Structure 1
């Protein structure tokens, strides 16, 4: 009934994902491969969280 007042967790995670990917791209352009790989790994983990939440929402 009050689902319009619930915050959307995927919206926050998508924003965080886009920030991480942007930071990773900048690190790669600057030649900092170690930071690039760390940020890419973090972005991948965020993407997995988004996928998990979306799968849970589809099942309900």
Structure 2
């Protein structure tokens, strides 16, 4: 009944994923390939967490 008021961790992770992808895109456009690679890797890790929570 009170699950309506609980925070949704998947929603938070999706927002974090979108922010990382946006930062990676901007780094790539600026020619900073190292930052792009690091941010993309971090975004993939967050996406894996999202998939784990989705399939539980």
TM-score normalised to the size of structure 2?
Answer: 0.95
User: How big is the shift at 1:6?
Assistant: 1.4
Task: State the match for 2:29 in structure 1.
Answer: 29
User: How big is the shift at 1:2?
Assistant: 1.7
**Aligned partners of 1:32 and 1:51: how far apart in 2?**
29
**Aligned partners of 1:5 and 1:54: how far apart in 2?**
19
What is the Cα-based RMSD across aligned positions, in Å? 0.6
Query: Hey, which bits of structure 1, 4+ residues long, moved more than 4 A?
Result: none
Higher RCO, 1 vs 2 (CA within 8 Å, ≥6 residues apart): 2
User: How big is the shift at 1:15?
Assistant: 0.5
**Aligned partners of 1:37 and 1:55: how far apart in 2?**
27
- Unaligned stretches of 5+ residues in structure 1: none
